[in-house]
Structures are given as C-alpha cells and as structure tokens.
Amino acid sequence: MSRTQKTWVRVHPKPTRPKVPDRIKGEVSQAAEELLTEDLRPTYVKEPPIDPQFNYIVDLFSKWYGSYFYLCAKYACPGPYAISPFFETKFARMEYAGENRFHLSYMRHTGKWFEVNQNLSSEECLEHIRAEPSFQP
C-alpha cells in the first residue's frame, strides 16, 4: 500500500482591514442619521397596530463595529409567546475599504450578506440605500 506523502504548504495571512479614521466615522454617522430621519423612519416606522399580532418596526438606527458601518432596525414582538419584547436586525452594511471608499452589502433572506457594489463613496452608498428596494429593513 502506498501512503500519500504530506507536504508543507505556505499559508499567507489574511490582509488586515484598514482602520477607519474618526473624521470619516463622524461624517458617515451624521449623513446616515440624516437619511434615517428624512427618508427611512417616516417610511418604515409607523404607529403600533391596535391589536398587534406580528412583529413591527419601532426604530431605525446605525452603528459602527470595527471597519463596518451598519444600518439596523429594532422590532417589537407583541405576541404572548415572544422570547423577548424586542429584537434587532441589520439590513445594510458599508465596509470601509480605505481612502474614503466603501463596499456596500445588504442582508439576504438567507442570513448572509450580499455585496452589491465596491469602492463607492459614502454619499453613493447612502444614495443606493435610499433608492434600492434591496435595502429595506
């Protein structure tokens, strides 16, 4: 019987993500808050139903996590068998790519992120989020 011979293989380390400057974090957060206030909250955050049976959106917000910027929705769970009264989901992600450029993704129904655009400015990313139906909470 012959045995397969084992060999050493060089594994290259993953490239490090660029650190997001505080100035860019502030600018993106402020522009996203304007988008949320002017467009998304009036469209998706409604008064609670009179006799709620299903989950509904109570707030939209944004947050940074490392080099990722997320737009999130907070849902209320009115049912008697709800595990918790609220839960949060992320529906849009901007990944910092360096030099004020971002990769834009949305959360698919499968629970996986799907990247739709690369190397966009923050303004272009927020415009895509405003205009495209894939980025609905």
23-54 pLDDT, tens digit each: 999 999 999 999 999 999 999 999 988 888 88
1 pLDDT above the threshold of 80: no
95 pLDDT above the threshold of 80: yes
Instruction: Give the helix/strand (H/E) hosting 75.
Output: strand 68-76
pLDDT 10s digits, 57-68: 999 999 999 999
Q: How far is CA 49 from the centre of its chain?
A: 27
The residue written with tokens 């109570």 in the block is 58
2 pLDDT above the threshold of 80: no
Could you state, in order of their start, the residue ranges of all structural domains in the chain? 22-46+53-135
The two three-digit tokens of residue 119, written as one number: 């190397």
Q: What pLDDT is recorded for position 5? A: 83
Average pLDDT over all residues of the chain = 92
Q: Which amino acid is at 97?
A: A
What predicted TM-score, i.e. pTM, was given to this entire model?
0.85
Average pLDDT for 2-25: 85
Q: How many CA atoms lie within 13 A of 120 on its CB side?
A: 19
